[in-house]
Amino acid sequence: MELNVGSEVQRGWRVLAVAGELDIDTVPVLAARLDADVTGAHAVLDLAGLQFMDSTGLALVLDWHRRLGEAGGQLRIAATQAPVRRLFELADVAQVLSLHETVDAAVQESVDTAH
Give pLDDT tens digits for 2-51.
999 999 999 999 999 999 999 999 999 999 999 999 999 999 999 999 99
Do residues 97 and 43 touch, judged by C-beta distance below 8 A?
no
pTM: 0.93
The mean pLDDT value of the chain amounts to 94
| Whole-number pLDDT of residue 113 | 54
| Whole-number pLDDT of residue 111 | 62
Measured between its terminal Cα atoms, the distance across the chain in Å is: 36
Question: Of 63, 16, 5, 62, whose CA–CA distance to 39 is shortest?
Answer: 16
12 Cα distance to chain centroid: 15
What is the β-pairing status of strands 13-22 and 98-100?
unpaired
Cα angle 74-37-98, degrees, rounded to a multiple of 5: 20
What is the β-pairing status of strands 74-78 and 3-10?
unpaired
Structural domains of the chain in order of their starting residue, each with its CATH number: 3-106 (3.30.750.24)
